[in-house]
C-alpha cells in the first residue's frame, strides 16, 4: 500500500505541473448585445412582456383551457420531458463514477480424481476498483453531463413556449375566420335582399334581367368565399385538435371582438434574451458541452490511475486444501499511460476544439436570430395597429359610398356597376380589417414567444 501511495503522490505532483486547463471552468464568451433591438428608447424598458405568465397575457378563459391542455398532452412536449429524465439519469451515472465499483464473486468447485473422494473448494470473494480522478476525466464528464441536462431542460422550455404560442396563434386564427364568416354571411344576406329588390324593380320596369344576373353572380361569389372560409375553419380545428393530442373535432372558443392585450409592448433590455429565451440557453448549454469535451480530449493525454482490491473467505489457501477456510486479501494499484495512441488523441483534441468553436458561432447566431425575431414581431404589431386605424377610416368612407350609390341607382342617376364595385370594396375592406386585427394579436404572440415568454 505504501508503494501505491508513493505512485499516486508522484502522479498528483505531475498533474499539478503539466495538466493546465483540464479543470478549467466554462465562462460565457464575450457577446455584444447592444442595439440588438431596433426599437425606440421608450420601448426599451427593463420590464419585458416575457415577464408575464401566459395566463396573464392571454385572458380568454377558453384559450387558457386549451393552452393548459396542450401543456399536458402535446406529444412533442411530453417527449421533451422524457429527454430531460434521460439527461438526469446520465448525470447521475456521471456522479456515481466517482465511487468505487463493487463486485461479489462467490465460486465453488467439486473435484474427484480416479474415483477418490471428492474434494470441495470454495471462495466467497468480493472485489472493488476505484479510478482516481487526478486528470479531470471524470470531472469533465460530470460537467458535460450537467450541461447536457441544461440543454435538455432548455429544449423542454423551448417546446413549451412553442406550444403556448402555437395554441394561441391557432385559436386567434379561428376567431379571425369566425369573424370573416360572419361578415361574409351578412354580405350574402345583403345580396339576397338586394336581388329581391331588383326583381321587384324589374316588375315595375325599373331594372333589367342583366342587372339581376350580375347581382346573383356576386351573391354566388360570396357563397363560394363562405365555403372556402368554412373549410379553413374545419381544417384549423382539426390541426389544433391533433396538436392538443385529441381526436379531430370542434374547438370551443369566444369572439375576436373583446380580446384585450397591453396597449404598450416592451421588449426589455437586450440581455433579457440570455435569461428568457430557451433556445439561447440551449445553445449556450451546447457550448458548455463542447467546452468540457475539449477538456476531456486533453485528459486523454494523461494516465489513468485505478486502485483495486479483493477480499474473501476461502478454504484453498495455497497447495493444500484446508477446512475451515481463511481470509484472502489483495490490493493492486495500476497506472495506464497512453503510448501508441498519441496521434489519435491529437486528432480528437483538434476535433473537440473545432466543435467548440462551432458551438460559439451557433450561440452568437442564436442571439442575432433572437434579436431579429423580436424586431420583426414589434414591427408587425406596430404596422397592424397603423393599418387598423387606416382600415377603420376606409370602411367608414366605403359604407357612405355604398349607401349613396344605392340611392343614386334607385333614382336613376347611376348604374348597377358602381353599386357592385362599392359593395365589393366594402366587403374586401371589412375582411382586411379582421385580418389586420389578427395580425396585431399575432404580433403580440410572436413578440411574447421571441422573448421567451410562456416558460412559467
The per-residue DSSP string of 59-126 comes to --HHHHHHHHHHHHH-HHHHHHHHHHHHHHHHHHHHHHTTSPEEEEEEEEEEE-STTPPPEEEEEEEE
C-alpha 442/C-alpha 436 separation (Å) is: 9
Provide φ and ψ at 35, rounded to 5°: 55, 30
Higher-confidence residue of 98 and 255: namely: 255
137-203 vs 416-450: helix axis angle to the nearest 10?
A: 170
Instruction: Report yes or no: 338 and 303 within 8 Å, Cβ to Cβ.
Output: yes
Least confident segment among 145-154, 201-210, 262-271, 366-375: 262-271
pLDDT at 175 over 60: yes
CA–CA–CA angle 47, 164, 60 (5° rounding) = 85
Higher-confidence residue of 32 and 439: namely: 439
Torsion, Cα of 180, 186, 188, 194 (10° steps): -150
Pick the CATH number of 21-98+134-302+342-450 from 1.20.1600.10, 3.50.50.60, 2.70.70.10, 1.20.120.530: 1.20.1600.10
Higher-confidence residue of 356 and 34: namely: 356
Torsion, Cα of 132, 135, 141, 146 (10° steps): 100
Mean pLDDT of 153-164: 92
- The domain 101-132+306-336 having CATH identifier 2.20.200: the answer here is yes
Higher-confidence residue of 42 and 56: namely: 56
What residue ranges do the domains of the chain occupy?
A: 21-98+134-302+342-450, 101-132+306-336
pLDDT at 42 over 50: no
Residue recorded with cell 494499484: 333
Average pLDDT, the chain: 80
Residue 301's pLDDT is 78
Amino acid at each position: 500500500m505504501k508503494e501505491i501511495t508513493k505512485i499516486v503522490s508522484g502522479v498528483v505532483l505531475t498533474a499539478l505541473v503539466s495538466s493546465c486547463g483540464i479543470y478549467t471552468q466554462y465562462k460565457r464568451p464575450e457577446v455584444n448585445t447592444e442595439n440588438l433591438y431596433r426599437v425606440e428608447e421608450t420601448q426599451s424598458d427593463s420590464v419585458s412582456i416575457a415577464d408575464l405568465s401566459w395566463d396573464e397575457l392571454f385572458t380568454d378563459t377558453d384559450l387558457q383551457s386549451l393552452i393548459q391542455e396542450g401543456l399536458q398532452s402535446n406529444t412533442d412536449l411530453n417527449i421533451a420531458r422524457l429527454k430531460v429524465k434521460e439527461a438526469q439519469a446520465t448525470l447521475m451515472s456521471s456522479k456515481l463514477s466517482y465511487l468505487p465499483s463493487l463486485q461479489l464473486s462467490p465460486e465453488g468447485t467439486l473435484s474427484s480424481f480416479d474415483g477418490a473422494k471428492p474434494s470441495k473448494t470454495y471462495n466467497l470473494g468480493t472485489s472493488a476498483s476505484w479510478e482516481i480522478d487526478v486528470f479531470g476525466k471524470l470531472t469533465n464528464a460530470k460537467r458535460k453531463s450537467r450541461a447536457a441536462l441544461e440543454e435538455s431542460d432548455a429544449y423542454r422550455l423551448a417546446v413549451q413556449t412553442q406550444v403556448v404560442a402555437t395554441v394561441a396563434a391557432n385559436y386567434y386564427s379561428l376567431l379571425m375566420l369566425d369573424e370573416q364568416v360572419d361578415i361574409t354571411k351578412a354580405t350574402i344576406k345583403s345580396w339576397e335582399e338586394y336581388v329581391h329588390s331588383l326583381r321587384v324593380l324589374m316588375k315595375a320596369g325599373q331594372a333589367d334581367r342583366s342587372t339581376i344576373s350580375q347581382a346573383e353572380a356576386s351573391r354566388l361569389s360570396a357563397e363560394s368565399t363562405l365555403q372556402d372560409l368554412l373549410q379553413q375553419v374545419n381544417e384549423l380545428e382539426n390541426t389544433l385538435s391533433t396538436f392538443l393530442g385529441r381526436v379531430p373535432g370542434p374547438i370551443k372558443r369566444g369572439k375576436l371582438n373583446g380580446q384585450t392585450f397591453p396597449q404598450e409592448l416592451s421588449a426589455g433590455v437586450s440581455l433579457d434574451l440570455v435569461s428568457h429565451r430557451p433556445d439561447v440557453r440551449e445553445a449556450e448549454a451546447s457550448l458548455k458541452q463542447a467546452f468540457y469535451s475539449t477538456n476531456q480530449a486533453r485528459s486523454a493525454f494523461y494516465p489513468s490511475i485505478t486502485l483495486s482490491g479483493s477480499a474473501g473467505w476461502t478454504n484453498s489457501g495455497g497447495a493444500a486444501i484446508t477446512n475451515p477456510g481463511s481470509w484472502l486479501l489483495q490490493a493492486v494499484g495500476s497506472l495506464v499511460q497512453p503510448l501508441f495512441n498519441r496521434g489519435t488523441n491529437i486528432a480528437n483534441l483538434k476535433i473537440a476544439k473545432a466543435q467548440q468553436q462551432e458551438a460559439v458561432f451557433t450561440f452568437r447566431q442564436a442571439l442575432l436570430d433572437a434579436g431579429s425575431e423580436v424586431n420583426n414581431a414589434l414591427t408587425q404589431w406596430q404596422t397592424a395597429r397603423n393599418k387598423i386605424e387606416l382600415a377603420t377610416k376606409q370602411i367608414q368612407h366605403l359604407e357612405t359610398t355604398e349607401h349613396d350609390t344605392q340611392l343614386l341607382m334607385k333614382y336613376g342617376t347611376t348604374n348597377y356597376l358602381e353599386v357592385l364595385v362599392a359593395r365589393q370594396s366594402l366587403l374586401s375592406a371589412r375582411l382586411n380589417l379582421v385580418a389586420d386585427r389578427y395580425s396585431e394579436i399575432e404580433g403580440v404572440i410572436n413578440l411574447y414567444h421571441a422573448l421567451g415568454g410562456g416558460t412559467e
